[in-house]
């Protein structure tokens, strides 16, 4: 998922809303509202937010 997060083009200091919006744009339009895939979408968004948090932690730790 790190590769997918890297392709979102989101700055490290961006808010979680920006990350979710960018991740949503990566999901095909036909799957964005499919009730059967709700858990998969939720898992995808959570993984993107976790990657974002890890990147923020690295920037904070190394003061980049």
> What pLDDT, in 10s, does the model give residues 8-54?
999 999 999 999 999 999 999 999 999 999 999 999 999 999 999 99
- Percentages of the chain per state (helix, strand, coil), in multiples of 5: 75, 0, 25
pLDDT grade for 1, boundaries at 50, 70 and 90: confident
Contact 23, 48 (CB under 8 A): yes
Q: What is the DSSP letter of 29?
A: G
pTM of the predicted model as reported, rounded to 2 decimal places: 0.90
């Amino acid at each position: 998922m790190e590769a997918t997060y890297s392709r979102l083009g989101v700055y490290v200091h961006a808010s979680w809303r920006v990350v979710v919006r960018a991740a949503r744009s990566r999901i095909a339009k036909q799957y964005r509202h499919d009730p059967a895939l709700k858990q998969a979408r939720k898992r995808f968004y959570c993984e993107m937010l976790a990657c974002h948090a890890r990147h923020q932690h690295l920037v904070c730790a190394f003061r980049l």
